[in-house]
Structure 1
Amino acid sequence: MEIHRNRHHNIQMKESVLVGRSLLNFTSIFVSLGVFLFGFEQGLMSSLLTNKYFKAYYKEPSPAAVGTMIAILEIGALISSFEAGKFGDKLGRRLTIRYGSLIFVIGGIIQTTSVNIFNLGFGRLISGIAIGFLTTIIPCYQSEISPPDDRGFYACLEFSGNIVGYSFSIWVDYGFSYIENNLSWRMPLFIQSLVGFLLYLGSFIIVETPRWLLDHNHDIEGMVVISDLYADGDVEDEVAINEFRNIKENVLIARVEGGERSYRYMLHRYSKRVSVGCFSQMFAQLNGINIVSYYAPMIFESAGWIGRQAILMTGINSIVYVLSTIPPWYLVDSWGRKPLLLSGAVVMGIPLIIIAYSLFLNNKYTANIVVACVIIFNAAFGASWGPIPWMMNEVLPNSVRSKGAALSTATNWLFNFLVGEMTPILLDAIAWKTYLIPAASCALSFLVVYTLFPETKGLTLEDMGSVFDDKTSIFSFRSSGTGSRSNSRSNSISSVTANGYGSTVEASGANAFRQSAASIARNPSMQKPDYDSLVASNPSLSTSMNEMIAPVDSSVPPQEIEPPSFEVIYAHKLRELERQNIVKKAFHPIAALFSGNSSRSRQTSRQGTPGAPDSEALLQNP
């Protein structure tokens, strides 16, 4: 830990040399290893299915056996995604990532050492359990640490990690295909375990999300993380203080409104938000991506590209796929989520129809047309329906975000399983007509997005209620501006508007009631302002007023929504250092000597600073 002055002449207390944008970029890229693993697992099996040693070792498995072995990963992910929501709420996002990566390592080792198709399927089931944990929590983690103006950028960057994993696995398969024995398919299976272990080690380095910390009353740790992410480690910076207030106020309001976190409560209270997350994940699968991702080499073989040529064409396709994920980095926060989904549905649907018609004709142009259309389809998916559904858990409130993400991720895995299970059977039974099914889904997804999905670009997570209007008590967030980070900085506490159960009161009434939740918490008597003049000017409100205003429990003491002071944070850090020193002294005398010098230097760095607390006094009486 470092403690020193910064450019604002305040005190920085940071856990590492990385703070601000550097910390955000490092953390985002590193946690993307979790979705990298999913992409790697996808592409890995698609290429191995054409490996002659793989097919010989497993005795030429039937299409049904291949479909079950491929799709069982989705069964494991479907089951674990629900548990991941509970783990994420109780243990935190960081620990859930750690456990998920460890389980993935175990599943990879079982696959590597498999002796029959059932053994291989069991290993994929274990890996699927891990993938369920990672793909549920990592998008939550990403949305909870990202600033609102760049949240789409970091979510799309994370999805790029998924496609990089897919592409990497294809080229790993292609490279090892030159080995003329069973290592040509066992080594790629082993490499995925190494990547999983790297993510496991990284889980000890990344920070916990500030929203989870504040929601579980770890206010000191939460304030330090907020300052590290948004204020270059300055715990007295106004931006960090305002961010703390906004998040903590949202947490307290959720508790006042009942604080319930069950799935039943979530589905009843936030049904529209949950449907946005689930529909986006459902159509991401039904629109046909896994027909291409899992079975691209088989598709290329059916079009005339045989053996290693099919893997090579898949690898070239994967490079274009990776490049297609870059434009959304810059479009998602400017153009918006909804336009990307609408345009993606159109551009994906057309190549699917052309593929079907070309395979139906089956002439000398078919092979090249199929390759071109698959590349266009993958590029369109990578720029739209690939990244956007994974970031739609941003619409969920903090109190149930983990469970909402679990439900939407489970939807993904359910339809992922159905597509993976049915594709080889459909390709064998109805051949080219298979591609007309996802083409029809693309058309349906366009209609659903156009009619149901709101635009959420630029909104803070705490202001999502402004586009859904699903608050059922008088506490309902309304964005005071565009919802951008610049506005949230200038407005340290979100305004609270009096609402009926889901309905919006006339503007005159809303303006009369707008107060900060912090003010109400400090002075409960402010809960019910003077309505006489308001009712006199607008008698139609008199009936609804009594229904909207809930009584305040006078036994609950007022609370100050203020971050921990520097002195409290400083004392907390000193206590942590003391505990670390005790461990070092017990196990390593030389380390104890250095830690003693380090402690003296830390205390010295605070000397001469006006108003600086005495460290010994703080330790005795924080």
Structure 2
Amino acid sequence: MSSSHHPIKESFLVGRALLNFTSIFVSLGVFLFGFEQGLMSSLLTNKYFKQYYRNPSPAAVGTMIAILEVGALFSSFLAGKVGDNIGRRRTIRYGSAIFVIGGIIQTFSVHIVNLAVGRLVSGVAIGFLTTIIPCYQSEISPPDDRGFYACLEFTGNIVGYSTSIWVDYGFSFLENDFSWRVPLFLQCLVGTLLFAGSYVIVETPRWLLDHDQDHEGMIVIADLYADGDVEDESAKAEYRGIKENVLISRIEGGERSYRYMFQRYKKRLSIACFSQMFAQLNGINIVSYYAPMIFESAGWIGRQAILMTGINSLVYIASTIPPWYLVDGWGRKPLLMTGAVFMGIPLLLISISLRANNSYTPNVVVACVVIFNASFGASWGPIPWMMNEVIPNSVRSKGAAASTATNWLFNFIVGEMTPILLDAITWKTYLIPAASCALSFFCVHLLFPETKGLTLEDMGSVFDDSSSIFSFHSSGNYGATEDSSSIHRSTSVSAVDQNDLFRQSPASIARNTALLRPDEGLLQSPVIAPVVPPAQSALKPTKSDTASFDGLGPTDSNIPPQEIEPPNYDSIIAFKRAEAQRLGVFSILRRRLWPVKHEDEEQPLTG
């Protein structure tokens, strides 16, 4: 096609608008987690709730609270495989459906055991959602704004937490069991909304290209990054970068098992898991789950404790906004290290104040809890959830599952032990997370790399444990692993234009200074080494691969590496026309809202 602009989707919902809409909408999944978390913390002080369940013991309360984490722990591992097999979008759909079922069981529970079963089911759903949604978010976000959207997502989580506190406070004025049953039911409505929305949001382009759905992947890339123009050069470049990364993983064996991930990417995985571990051990769920009980122990009784928790939640929300703008500029490491300091000091002061138990204690505890929550919301709250960005695309879903499972494991430990510790050692309880904050500071300083601004495909430039993009996107080293051989073909710079062969990201260039021109300093080299896949490559291209990549067999030494071309405009239109013939009810509704039309036709392709 000769036209310079070829939009496929005739709607305002493309580009930044689509990215913002999708990011905000999928945040409903983490909103549900926050809502569930805050909801139960306030209900624990509701007199009708306690009367109905016959004043459960601290151990029973701890088990009922923590059993949600048990469900989430096991389902998060399952979510990794499900997310790889059926896609991120459908996994969100099934997770939201399970959540609604769990909410209904809780609403109509008649015994503390029934309530615990409902929370277990909801935990299974939350395991799915908290594993896949951060993964989904990182895969659709542009590298320069990935931190922004991850922090925006966490804000949705805290908005859910705050909403549940104020819902509990409002319904606490009802003098009957509806004061706690209605809040439990409201979470079902939010879950239903997320379920319906899963039919509208797009699938991630990385999952689509990894499963050889190249036409749809190109359309989504264009919609997200090029205002729907499938022939935009930046969209084509994004397609090539993702597709070539997919092909490299296949050349290297294409393994996706947990065992392979633990062996090959243990450093990346340890960073993702350590961040989630410290997020829990640093004490946030001592406050989130039991804030009203903490305020009661400090002298704020009954509804006053819920009111103080609600006020604290508003400050908590506000604290999640600065990271939107700091995480991609200042960086991940400085935020985590600063947060560890400003969380540890208030925890220490809470312990000292409760030990003193004087007239200043109630106000000191409230002030310290607010400062602690705000510090967490600006650092250890959002950033651990985005650290699955360091996991390679081929195992990202499983890596996210492992890090999320780590979160739920330590979440369970904290939720189970907190009421017991508060009852047994009272003020000394807060010294434990204070010590964890100090330990996390040094862990981040010594072990964590800075990943701001890197594309997901270029994380290897930090960890040096995987190959970079091949063909002329390569860093000049094919199969840069300990057990793989490097195959090079020397070509004079004068014979082949270097700019045509290599379109490097800054990080790729930084990894291989041999690719710099002599006048760029550091390391001068008269030759460059474009990459040619080996003749006996393990890669077996699919039909969609061979349609856009001219051969991966023996390569003539005089032929430069071939471009991986995305599907062209006409083939995409043919694909959309064929798709329109097999649309379901929800897809038809979506196409009516956002019709697809060939530029030479007057009618949209809505079937």
Same fold (TM over 0.5): yes
**Does the alignment pair 1:42 with 2:37?**
yes
Name the CA distance, whole Å, in 2 between partners of 1:579 and 1:149: 37
Matched, 1:23 2:23: no
Residue 300 of structure 2, aligned match among 305, 318, 334: 305
Question: Using a 3 Å threshold, how does the CA distance of structure 1 residues 494 and 165 change in structure 2: closer, same or farther?
Answer: farther
Displacement after TM superposition at 1:493 (Å) = 3.2
Task: State the Cα distance separating 1:604 from its structure 2 match.
Answer: 3.0
1:134-175: per-residue Cα shift (whole Å, max 9, x none)?
000000000000000000000000000000000000000000
What is the deviation of 1:333?
0.1
Distance 1:308 1:510 in 2: 76
1:32-71 paired onto structure 2 within 5 Å: 32-71=27-66
- Cα distance, 1:603 vs. partner? 4.4
Say if 1:468 and 1:333 are closer, same or farther in 2 by CA, change over 3 A.
same
Rounded to whole Å, the distance in 2 between the matches of 1:257 and 1:496 is 16
Distance 2:213 2:406 in 1: 32
Q: In 2, are the aligned partners of 1:246 and 1:492 still within 8 Å (CA)? A: no
Q: 571-580 or 389-398: which moved more? A: 571-580
2:492 pairs with 1:495: no
Displacement of 1:577: 2.7
Show CA shifts across 1:255-310 (max 9, x none).
10111000000010000000000000000000000000000000000000000000
Match of 2:260 in 1: 265
Matched to 2:134, the amino acid is P
CA distance in 1, matches of 2:596, 2:341: 62
Q: How does 1:427-442 map to 2 (within 5 A)?
A: 427-442=422-437
Q: Tell me by how many angstroms 1:411 deviates.
A: 0.2
The superposition leaves residues 323-374 of structure 1 with CA deviations (integer Å, 9 ceiling, x where unpaired) of: 0000000000000000000000000000000000000000000000000000
Q: TM-score, normalised by structure 2?
A: 0.85
SS of match in other structure, 2:601: helix
Q: Which amino acid aligns with 2:601?
A: T
3-state SS, counterpart of residue 14 of structure 1: coil
Corresponding residue number in structure 1 for 2:521:
none
Q: Secondary structure at the match of 1:35?
A: helix
Does the CA contact (< 8 Å) of 1:495 and 1:515 recur in 2? no
Indicate if the aligned counterparts of 2:31 and 2:159 stay in contact, CA closer than 8 A.
Answer: yes
In structure 2, relative to structure 1, the CA distance for the partners of 1:32 and 1:560 (3 Å cut) is same
Partner of 2:344 in structure 1?
Answer: 349
Contact 1:300 / 1:306 at 8 angstroms: preserved in 2?
A: yes
C-alpha contact 2:351 2:427 (8 A) present in aligned 1: yes
Q: Deviations over 1:533-553 (max 9, x none)?
A: xxxxxxxxxxxx9xx998431
Q: CA–CA distance in 1 between the matches of 2:275 and 2:491?
A: 35
Aligned residue among 469, 476, 480 for 2:468: 476
Letter of the 1:366 counterpart:
T
Task: Sort the Cα spacing of 1:291 and 1:398 in 2 relative to 1 into closer, same or farther, 3 A.
Answer: same
Runs of 4+ in 1 over 6 A off after TM superposition: 508-516, 598-602
Does residue 1:141 correspond to 2:133, yes or no?
no
Deviation at 1:9, TM superposition (A): 3.8
Q: Quick check: 2:241–2:469 contact (8 Å CA) kept in 1?
A: no
Amino acid at match of 2:238: E
**Are 2:114 and 1:119 aligned?**
yes
1:576 pairs, out of 563, 573, 579, with 579
CA pair 64-211 structure 1, distance change in 2 beyond 3 A: same
Whichever residue aligns with residue 397 of structure 2, its letter is: S
Query: Is the CA contact 1:346–1:442 (under 8 Å) kept in the aligned structure 2?
Result: yes
Q: Partner residue of 1:443?
A: 438
Distance 1:150 1:87 in 2: 27
Secondary structure of 2:388 counterpart: helix
In the alignment, is the contact (CA less than 8 A) between 2:472 and 2:501 conserved in 1? no
> How has the CA–CA distance of structure 1 residues 149 and 30 changed in structure 2, closer, same or farther, with 3 Å as cutoff?
same
Percentage of matched positions with identical amino acids: 72
Q: Hey, what's the Cα distance between the residues in 2 that align with 1:221 and 1:464? A: 25
Once the two structures are superposed, residues 517-570 of structure 1 have per-residue CA deviations (whole angstroms, 9 ceiling, x without a partner) of x979xxxxxxxxxxxxxxxxxxxxxxxx9xx99843179642751100111001
The 2-side partners of 1:310 and 1:361 are apart by 20
Q: Does 1:461 pair with 2:456?
A: yes
RMSD: 3.3
Amino acid at match of 2:366: V
- The aligned counterpart of 1:566 is 569
Whether the aligned pair in 2 keeps the contact of 1:469 and 1:502 (CA below 8 Å) is: no
CA contact (8 A) 2:248 2:469 kept: no
Instruction: Give the TM-score, by structure 1 length.
Output: 0.83
Using the TM superposition, name which of 571-580 and 283-292 deviates more.
Answer: 571-580
- Contact 2:31/2:161, CA 8 A, preserved across alignment: yes
* Residues 446-505 of structure 1: per-residue CA shift (max 9 Å, x gap): 11111110000000000000010112xxx3359xxxxxxxxxxxx983534357545999
Cα 1:400–1:500 change in 2 (3 A) is: closer
Tell me the SS of whatever aligns to 1:10.
coil
State the alpha-carbon separation in 1 of the partners of residues 122 and 392 from structure 2: 29
Aligned residues: 550
Residue 601 of structure 2 aligns with which residue? 604
Q: Is the 8 A contact 1:101 1:134 kept in 2?
A: yes
Q: CA deviation at 1:511?
A: 11
Equivalent residue number for residue 611 of structure 1? none
Mapped partners of 1:453, 1:248: distance in 2: 28
Contact kept in structure 2, 1:465 and 1:477, CA below 8 Å: no
In the TM superposition, what is the alpha-carbon distance from 1:575 to its structure 2 partner?
1.7
Shift of the alpha carbon at 1:11? 1.6
Separation in structure 2 between the aligned mates of residue 77 and residue 383 of structure 1, nearest angstrom: 24
State the one-letter code of the partner of 2:276.
Q
1:106 to 86, 101, 107: 101
Mapped contact 1:267–1:274 kept (Cα < 8 A): yes
Structure 1's unaligned 5+ residue stretches are: 479-490, 521-544, 608-614
Kept after mapping to 2: 8 A contact 1:242/1:492: no
Q: Aligned letter for 1:497? A: N
For 1:78 and 1:145, the matched residues in 2 are separated by: 25
Q: Secondary structure of the equivalent of 1:13?
A: coil
Structure 2 vs 1, CA of residues 512 and 296 (structure 1 numbering), >3 Å: closer, same or farther? Answer: farther
Partner amino acid, structure 1, of 2:36: E
Does 2:535 match 1:552?
Answer: yes
Tell me how far apart the structure 2 counterparts of residues 146 and 104 of structure 1 sit (CA, whole Å). Answer: 26
In 2 relative to 1, CA 42–568 (structure 1 residues): closer, same or farther, beyond 3 Å?
Answer: same
Instruction: Name the structure 1 match of 2:159.
Output: 164
- Measure, in 2, the Cα distance between the counterparts of 1:365 and 1:259: 61
The structure that is helix-richer by fraction is 1
Residue in 2 that maps onto 1:189: 184
* 1:390 equivalent in alignment to 2:385: yes
Q: Does the 8 A contact of 1:498 with 1:510 survive in 2?
A: no
Aligned counterparts of 1:291 and 1:267: Cα–Cα separation in 2: 31
Note closer, same or farther for the CA distance 1:579–1:38 as it changes in structure 2 (3 Å cut).
closer
The answer on whether the counterparts of 1:246 and 1:494 sit within 8 Å (CA) in structure 2 is: no
Aligned counterparts of 1:172 and 1:366: Cα–Cα separation in 2: 28
